[in-house]
Amino acid sequence: MLAIDVKNLTKQFKAQRNREGVKGALKDLFRREYNEITAVDDISFQIPKGEICGYIGENGAGKSTTIKMLTGILVPTSGEIHVNGFVPYKEREKFVRGIGVVFGQRSQLWWDIGVIESFQLLRKVYRVSEADYKSRLDELVQRLQLADLLNRPVRKLSLGQRMRCELAASLLHNPAIVFLDEPTIGLDIVVKTEIREFLKSMNQRYETTILLTTHDLQDIEALCSRVIMLDDGKVIYDGGLEELKNRWGKGKEIVFQFTSGQELFALQALTAGLEVAWSQENEYVAKVWVPTEQANLSEVLSRVVGVMPIHDVKIIETNTDDIVREIYKSGSAKGKIEL
Ligand SMILES: Nc1ncnc2c1ncn2[C@@H]1O[C@H](COP(=O)(O)OP(=O)(O)OP(=O)(O)O)[C@@H](O)[C@H]1O
């Protein structure tokens, strides 16, 4: 069964354009000009029940906009969404009872009242019976070690303590699908590990489907068998983490230091026809990312070294963080990593 089914989903925003200068401001008064921003651009993916899927991308790639559509906060411009069998923005009241949401940077708990009182309010919002609530709460208190926190006001909790309470709050109604947006942001490594362990065990025990947005690749490594990577509103990778590493992990970066200034286009021209991505630190230092064995290292080296005045060359092995960074960086990676 599919937990999340997204087809050709697009979201556009209208953003006001401010014209320059006094004249521009005056013109703006009479006739506003708008720019259209496509935050999510024709994406499709399916997530089966029980999967933990990482949803990653640079700032502004369109992750939050997708999550907002999946949780019914935003209405799509076009395309189809089914989550838990519901169209999120249409049947909100029934729909929200089956999902849990944690936004790491915002709280769903009331700031000034005790944690337990927030939980009780949420029980009513989600219409959970007293009996179900009690057994669920007992389990969460034990697993997330909340006993000492329940009577404290949220504003007096540390970030890690608050995050454990946020997780509990989002799970009180035992949702089938949980959306986690940066759940470990700002936490120390011990709390991060505890939260990852908790999520893993919850997923195994209840087959909870989790869509996890994060900039922390260790979250992904610890939890996700699959990653969907977004760039500029489009899905640029959807597949296993291992495949991503295998395919791109073979890549290497070559750093050239030149004895005289070089132009980026000249370097790109040298490797024309090869699947590589150049970037420049300054006119004397340039890097080239050689993603796979297809465009082989020695070919790139010989083309550059044969022509350019070289001061130094370094070859750098990469880890997953680097791989992902490189994929984001080189717009040219688009289309090359479809598996
Ligand atoms: N309400 C809005 N009005 C206009 N533009 C918006 C709105 N919300 C988001 N955008 C734009 O849509 C694009 C995608 O934003 P989104 O917040 O989905 O990215 P993100 O991947 O979640 O980024 P981050 O990692 O920084 O949270 C950005 O260019 C953003 O400026």
What is the Å distance from ligand 1's center to 47 Cα?
23
The atom number, within ligand 1, closest to the CA of 13 reads: 4
What is the Å distance from ligand 1's center to 309 Cα?
43
pLDDT of residue 329: 61
What is the Å distance from ligand 1's center to 198 Cα?
30
> Which element (helix H / strand E) includes 225?
none
Residue for token pair 């509103």: 233
Nearest CA-CA partner of 64 in 181, 143, 155, 150: 181
pLDDT of residue 293: 63
For a ligand 1 pocket test, name from 10, 13, 231 the mutation site with the most ligand atoms within 8 angstroms of its C-beta. 13
Domains with residue ranges and CATH for the chain: 2-245 (3.40.50.300), 252-317 (3.30.70.1570)
What is the Å distance from ligand 1's center to 251 Cα?
31
What is the Å distance from ligand 1's center to 59 Cα?
8
Residue nearest to atom 26 of ligand 1 (CA): 59
Show the DSSP H helices in 54-144 as ranges.
Answer: 63-70, 92-96, 115-125, 130-143
pLDDT of residue 318: 63
ipTM computed for the complex: 0.95
pLDDT of residue 295: 56
What is the sign, positive or negative, of the torsion defined by CA atoms of 162, 126, 5, 204? positive
Residues near ligand 1 (Cβ within 6 A): 13, 15, 37, 39, 57, 59-65
What is the Å distance from ligand 1's center to 65 Cα?
6
pLDDT of residue 334: 42
The atom number, within ligand 1, closest to the CA of 40 reads: 14
pLDDT of residue 107: 82
What's the number of CA atoms in the CB half-sphere (13 Å) around residue 336?
19
The atom number, within ligand 1, closest to the CA of 15 reads: 4
Residue nearest to atom 6 of ligand 1 (CA): 13
The tens place of each residue's pLDDT in the chain, 339 residues long, gives: 899 999 999 999 987 777 788 888 887 777 777 788 999 999 999 999 999 999 998 888 999 999 999 999 999 999 999 999 999 999 888 899 999 999 877 788 888 899 999 999 999 988 999 999 999 999 999 989 999 999 999 999 998 899 999 999 999 999 999 999 988 888 888 888 988 999 999 999 999 999 999 888 888 989 998 999 998 899 988 998 877 776 666 678 899 999 999 999 999 999 998 888 899 989 999 999 887 665 578 889 999 998 999 999 998 876 666 666 666 665 434 444 443
Tokens of 214: 């994060």
pLDDT of residue 319: 63
Give the strands of the sheet with 177-181, arranged side by side.
99-103, 177-181, 209-213, 52-57, 226-231, 234-240
